[in-house]
Amino acid sequence: MALSYEFSIGSVRARENSLLKSSDIEQMLNMKNEEELIRFLKDKGFGDGNDTEAIIADNTQKMWKFIHSVAPDADIFEPFYLQNDIHNLKTVLKGMLSDTDYRALLLSPYTIDPVAIRKALENNRFDTLPQWLAEPAEMAYRLLTRTGDARLSDAVIDKAALGKMLEAGKASHSVFLEDYFRIYVFYANVKTAIRAARIRSSQNYLETALCKCNGFDTETVIKKALSSKDALFKYLSSLSIYDCKEAMAHFEKSPCEFEKFVENKLIALARKECRISCRGPEALFGYYLGCQAQCQAVHIIASGIVTQTSPDKIRERLRETYG
């Protein structure tokens, strides 16, 4: 029997009850060591493993197994796989050129088999890759082999992926997914422009790295970034779109505060659009992002416990959750 979104929504709503709650977060913040945290996570049924990273990996694997068991069409998640695809392309490319074993660094799920990536690079058959990636992959390969410019090579691949995310969001006919990736790409551009301005990158780098998207005036940003970091900050702080002015105020405090603001904005969008959705794939998207958010929280807490960071300091690093 074919699955329906009505079935998947009911399944997700029941499953959401197992996501970590704020009370769980508070309990974890007060744990003395990683062993105590591991016992807690296992008792909660969060995942299995000998350390927190293994438990997080197990939780993620179980999440995908559940999603694939209830989703009428698992391909709707392909826009989220793109980040793993570009990571894998960079990993295979650099591993192949340096003759090092990169297999343990590969991420899944993906839309492009890493073996196919390797064959395309080895045989100079970039046309065997998906159309959106064929030309950028070839350009990145040429840059690395001829100039050794890994930063520019990465920028070429990243821009291609950002453009594909926007395209996929629009093609999905999901208002949430389109808005999600517009915000994601907008702030990816902001981060790239700020880093470029700080180290006085060239116009060529900026033109190569920045992806055209709604509300982001690429020409003006490049002009300001080439002028000075302060000029760029002033311009970005004047933008109201996606609360950019507020985001820049957070960046003035620290880049970490900026990252936290952006991630909180994205999960807040998911809570608003997906937690109440009663049709379509939005409930599935929300559950996926909720699982990602809780895994990030566990990772931050575990790292803080290992480094003996105070609970208050760890709490400052935590992002909002989906619950």
CA dihedral 221, 227, 233, 236 (to 10 degrees): -20
Crossing angle of the two packed helices 175-198 and 218-227, in degrees rounded to 10: 20
Q: Which CATH superfamily is domain 1-73+281-323 in?
A: ATP synthase (C/AC39) subunit, domain 3 (1.10.132.50)
226 pLDDT higher than 80 = yes
1 pLDDT higher than 60 = no
**Right CATH for 77-173 from 3.40.50.10540, 1.20.1250.20, 1.20.1690.10, 3.40.1010.10:** 1.20.1690.10
32 pLDDT higher than 50 = yes
**What percent of the chain has pLDDT above 90?**
91
Q: What is the pLDDT of residues 104-132, one digit of tens each?
A: 999 989 999 999 999 999 999 999 999 99
pLDDT at residue 75, rounded to an integer: 87
Q: 253 vs 276, which has greater pLDDT? A: 253
pLDDT at residue 288, rounded to an integer: 96
CA distances from 206 to 188, 218, 268 (A): 13, 9, 30
Q: 3 vs 252, which has greater pLDDT? A: 252
| Averaged confidence pLDDT in the chain | 94
133 pLDDT higher than 60 = yes
Instruction: Among 71-80, 128-137, 211-220, name the one with the lowest average pLDDT.
Output: 71-80
pLDDT at residue 318, rounded to an integer: 95
Tokens 């998911």 correspond to 270
Kindly provide the b/e burial profile for residues 124-141, where b requires at least 16 CB atoms within 10 angstroms of the residue's own CB.
eebeebeeebbebbbbbb
Cα–Cα dist 299/131, whole Å: 36
Crossing angle of the two packed helices 5-16 and 52-70, in degrees rounded to 10: 150
pLDDT at residue 4, rounded to an integer: 87
pLDDT at residue 2, rounded to an integer: 61
Residue 194, helix vs strand vs coil: helix
What's the whole-model pTM score? 0.93
Cβ distance 204 to 226 under 8 Å?
A: no
